[in-house]
């Protein structure tokens, strides 16, 4: 008995790292599947408002984004809120053709589901957004979404006002 | 010939984990998990001339919400705080003045809306209203509808509106259809 006890080494056996690549690959595939790369570089500052009654936009391929806010580069573009269409700043007049072009890109059967997501900064005035809405109506893009961040409770929204 | 039969040396897989880690970190950094969420709105189709004055819609069936350029609310010609908007909107929608809505529990005030299918909410804003305030008001109006639908779903089916099946949802939203109009931009002063 004494001999057997002596034979036992007190060192803990090293943890096998053979399965480490498997674990890492699993994580890798998870992130590869869930990832969506940023498609545009934001030229305008966008701080989204908060809301509670939000709905998820499930089809990204059927959605076109329009960003609105004060330009990041104020020396070049000034500080007045502008509209960003894809990778460049545009004006209200460009919206109609932009939206029509975007709608042409998608499958004809799914065109009724075409949605325009307006990602506007909280400091943008409604004048600009109303102009944008009128242009969208002219372009027959009637499904829109005001992009917002989720708020915890309705009470949270009353405070800042 | 004998030379060709020599065993191919095994590739060392020890660095596999490192490569995988590198890729993993790349995807971790570039990933944006945010799902786009927002308030879904349907705009009316464009028409050159202003919409014809509809005499069918009676004054009492319209709930006018004005937001001025100082982000103040005027609801049915009375000043109102944002926190009271939801409850008064609910009262208006659920009023059921003509008694045709069996599932409503409104006060049946003859001066307010006739029934939820006739009740229209008109949201008007100034050009100077901030987007933040507009979204908040819009949110409250949508919230009023979703609270009413939820209450009805709980009464009728004992479940929240979101948990109902398609039929149940259709039945509930038939009782409380959403009529929120974002009017053409006007200058409401301030």
What is the C-alpha to C-alpha distance for residues A68 and A71, in angstroms, rounded to an integer? Answer: 9
> What's chain B's length in residues?
190
Q: Which of A31-35, A48-52, A107-111, B117-121 has the lowest mean pLDDT?
A: A31-35
pLDDT over threshold 70, residue B125: yes
* CA count, 13 A, side-chain hemisphere, B46: 15
The pair of structure tokens assigned to B140 is 């409250």
Nearest-CA distance A80 → chain B (Å): 14
- Tell me, rounded to whole angstroms, the distance of Cα A112 from its chain centroid: 22
Q: Please compute the mean of the pLDDT values over residues B36-61 and round it to a whole number.
A: 76
Nearest-CA distance A53 → chain B (Å): 6
Q: Contact B31/A35, CB-based, under 8 Å?
A: yes
β pairing state of A149-150 and A50-51: parallel
Domain range summary for chain A, segments of one domain joined by +: 50-154
Render pLDDT for A19-75 as a digit per residue (tens, 0 to 9): 887 888 888 888 878 776 667 888 888 888 888 888 888 777 888 889 999 998 888
More confident residue, B174 or A18: B174
Render pLDDT for A144-160 as a digit per residue (tens, 0 to 9): 999 988 887 777 777 75
pTM score, two decimals? 0.78
pLDDT over threshold 60, residue A86: yes
pLDDT band at residue B57 under the 50/70/90 scheme? low
Q: Do B147 and B90 touch, CB atoms closer than 8 A?
A: yes
Q: What is the domain class of A50-154 according to CATH?
A: alpha beta
B127 contacts chain A (CB < 8 A): yes
The closest alpha carbon to B17, from A60, A28, A156, belongs to A28
SS3 state at B184 = coil
How high is the ipTM of this complex? 0.76
């Amino acid at each position: 008995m004494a001999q057997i006890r002596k034979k036992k080494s007190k060192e803990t056996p090293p943890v096998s790292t053979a399965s480490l690549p498997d674990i890492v690959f699993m994580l890798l595939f998870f992130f590869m599947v869930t990832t969506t790369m940023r498609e545009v570089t934001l030229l305008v500052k966008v701080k989204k408002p908060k809301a509670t009654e939000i709905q998820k936009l499930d089809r990204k391929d059927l959605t076109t984004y329009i960003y609105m806010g004060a330009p990041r580069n104020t020396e070049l573009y000034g500080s007045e809120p502008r509209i960003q269409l894809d990778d460049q700043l545009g004006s209200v007049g460009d919206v109609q053709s932009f939206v029509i072009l975007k709608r042409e890109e998608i499958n004809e059967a799914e065109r009724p589901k075409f949605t325009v997501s307006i990602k506007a900064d909280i400091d943008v005035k409604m004048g600009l957004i109303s102009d944008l809405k009128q242009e969208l109506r002219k372009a027959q893009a009637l499904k829109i979404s005001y992009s917002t961040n989720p708020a915890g409770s309705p009470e949270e929204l009353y405070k800042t006002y | 010939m004998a030379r060709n039969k020599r065993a191919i040396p095994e590739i060392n897989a020890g660095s596999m984990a490192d490569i995988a880690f590198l890729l993993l970190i790349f995807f971790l950094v570039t990933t944006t998990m945010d799902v786009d969420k927002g308030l879904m709105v349907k705009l009316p189709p464009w028409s050159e001339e202003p919409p014809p004055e509809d005499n069918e819609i009676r004054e009492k069936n319209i709930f006018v919400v004005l937001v001025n350029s100082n982000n103040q609310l005027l609801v049915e010609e009375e000043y109102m705080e944002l926190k009271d908007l939801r409850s008064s909107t609910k009262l208006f929608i659920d009023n059921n003045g003509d008694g045709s809505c069996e599932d409503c529990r409104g006060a049946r005030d003859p001066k307010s809306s006739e029934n939820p299918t006739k009740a229209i909410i008109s949201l008007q804003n100034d050009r100077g209203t901030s987007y933040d305030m507009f979204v908040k008001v819009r949110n409250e109006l949508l919230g009023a509808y979703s609270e009413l639908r939820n209450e009805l779903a709980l009464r009728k089916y004992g479940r929240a509106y979101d948990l109902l099946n398609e039929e149940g949802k259709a039945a509930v939203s038939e009782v409380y259809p959403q009529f929120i109009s974002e009017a053409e931009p006007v200058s409401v002063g301030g």
